[in-house]
């Protein structure tokens, strides 16, 4: 049994990881400020002997230094998840991602904790050229402050691994989807269509190509990489090498909601908003070499997530 410390453990992805780890008989501490996270997703575990919940912020260094020692592995997921909010409040990702990640690393160093898993993002690539990008591709000119925060986190982590003999997996996620979501395009489309089943406002021209990725696949991929990674610090694209268009997502959501002839109103332009990369195709050969591949295509992931959110599954 290992002792896991999950920052952001009551968020969408975090809460799925908690379920998985507890099922595997691991010990889990969730450290979450509940700003993005949701207590309902983890409160059914409270009282279990191998589960602990601490409501606190990664910017609260004192609380972090008190809570983290004694754990074996830190799974660092805490971050802002709203890219537009981060662009409008320019110090939000600087604090909650960059400085937060520094605090986590510094606390690990002081507590002698050597193992880290970090949720980075495809956003570090910025506007992608029209080809699937691999981890060896640069120059990583991100177009959102969320992406800048993730990139800064990657740099801090790789430096700490080299300087202080830590081991870290950096995961660049595609668009992770599943149940328990309360943000993102699938969730938004469902809310909009519940309000008005005849028309749907779509940001951009709908031709944006994104790789959507099932949260269970994501967790399986992270655990495989953690187990099999050879270097002390390495970075992996974690997503699918398939993609869905945003109009395609609207089609799947409409279909699963039993709606026909929904009129799509496009706001126009190639990207949904400033800071949104319209084209996100991954080369996932590196993680496949470790013997893992996603079980679901992007369209399948969108459909399953839609079903769960609608309550059909």
Residues belonging to the active site: 146
- CA-CA distance, 150 to 211, in Å (whole number)? 18
Sign of CA dihedral 18, 67, 160, 87: positive
CB of 94 to its own copies, least distance (A): 6
Span interacting with its own copies, options 23-31, 36-44, 50-58, 146-154, rule CB under 8 A: 146-154
Decide: 235 and 154 in contact? Cβ < 8 Å: yes
Is 249 near its own copies (CB under 8 A)?
A: no
| # of chain residues touching its own copies (CB under 8 A) | 41
Q: Does 313 bind its own copies (CB under 8 A)?
A: no
Q: Which residue, 72 or 106, is less far from its own copies as judged by CB?
A: 106
The yes or no reply on residue 136 touching its own copies (CB under 8 A) is yes
Contact 67, 39 (CB under 8 A): no
Establish if 154 lies at the interface with its own copies (CB under 8 A): yes
Nearest to 140 by CA among 238, 150, 101: 150
Query: Which residue among 130, 138, 291, 311 contacts its own copies (CB under 8 A)?
Result: 138
From 16-24, 29-37, 126-134, 258-266, give the range in contact with its own copies by CB under 8 A.
Answer: 126-134
The single-letter DSSP state of residue 98 is I
CA 207 – CA 83 distance, rounded (Å):
20
Distance CA 199, CA 221 (A): 37
Contact of 238 with 35, CB cutoff 8 Å: no
Determine if 132 is a binding residue for its own copies (CB under 8 A).
Answer: no
**Per CB under 8 A, 46 contacts its own copies:** no
174-233 positions binding its own copies, by CB under 8 A: 233
Q: Is position 139 an interface residue for its own copies (rule: CB under 8 A)?
A: yes
Q: Which of 19, 32, 57, 135 binds its own copies (CB under 8 A)?
A: 135
Integer Cα distance of 15 and 30 in angstroms:
9
| Tokens 């606190």 belong to residue | 56
In sign, the C-alpha dihedral spanning 260, 265, 269, 273 is negative
Q: Does 142 bind its own copies (CB under 8 A)?
A: yes
Binding site for its own copies (CB under 8 A): 87, 90-91, 94, 98-99, 102, 106, 109, 124, 126-127, 134-145, 147-149, 151-152, 154-156, 158-159, 162-163, 233-235, 274-275
């Amino acid at each position: 049994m290992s002792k896991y410390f999950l920052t952001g453990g009551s968020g969408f992805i975090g809460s799925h990881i908690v379920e998985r780890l507890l099922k595997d008989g691991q010990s889990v501490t969730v450290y979450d400020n509940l700003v993005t996270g949701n207590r309902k997703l983890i409160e059914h575990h409270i009282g279990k002997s191998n589960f602990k919940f601490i409501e606190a912020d990664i910017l609260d260094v004192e609380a972090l230094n008190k809570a983290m020692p004694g754990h074996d592995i830190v799974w660092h997921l805490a971050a802002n998840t709203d890219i537009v909010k981060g662009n409008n409040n320019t110090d939000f990702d600087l604090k909650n991602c960059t400085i937060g990640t520094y605090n986590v690393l510094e606390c690990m160093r002081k507590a002698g904790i050597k193992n880290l898993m970090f949720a980075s993002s495809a956003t570090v690539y910025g506007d992608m050229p029209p080809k699937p990008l691999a981890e060896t591709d640069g120059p990583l000119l991100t177009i959102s402050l969320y992406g800048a925060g993730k990139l800064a986190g990657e740099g801090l982590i790789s430096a700490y691994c080299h300087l202080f003999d830590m081991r870290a997996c950096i995961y660049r996620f595609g668009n992770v989807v599943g149940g328990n979501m309360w943000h993102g395009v699938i969730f938004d489309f469902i809310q909009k269509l519940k309000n008005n089943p005849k028309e749907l406002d779509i940001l951009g021209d709908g031709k944006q190509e994104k790789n959507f990725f099932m949260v269970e696949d994501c967790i399986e991929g992270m655990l495989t990489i953690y187990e099999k990674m050879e270097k002390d610090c390495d970075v992996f694209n974690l997503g699918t090498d398939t993609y869905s268009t945003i109009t395609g997502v609207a089609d799947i959501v409409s279909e699963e909601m039993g709606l026909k002839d929904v009129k799509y109103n496009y706001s126009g332009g190639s990207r949904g908003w400033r800071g949104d990369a319209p084209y996100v195709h991954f080369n996932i050969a590196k993680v496949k070499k470790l013997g893992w591949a996603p079980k679901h295509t992007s369209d399948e992931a969108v459909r399953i997530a839609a079903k769960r959110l609608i309550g059909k599954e």
